[in-house]
Amino acid sequence: MFLSQQAFATVVQSTPLISIDLIVENAQGEILLGKRTNRPAQGFLVCAWRSCTKG
């Protein structure tokens, strides 16, 4: 079963974006952080994460 382009666009616009946050810790107890390069959180340290692309 496939959705029409219009129906799919409506679903993408109407549903939340899925995101997974991860805390990665090594044997010494250090936590992996990244520094954001894009707005709105540019320059902030963040935990590892991944978003599923909508559309």
Bridge partner residues of 42 (DSSP): none
pTM: 0.47
Q: Residue 50's pLDDT is what?
A: 66
**25-44 burial, b for 16+ CB within 10 Å, e for fewer?**
eeeeeeeeeeeeeeeeeeee
pLDDT tens by residue, 2-42 = 889 899 888 888 888 777 788 889 999 999 988 989 888 89
Q: Residue 21's pLDDT is what?
A: 81
Judge whether residue 51 has pLDDT over 80. Answer: no
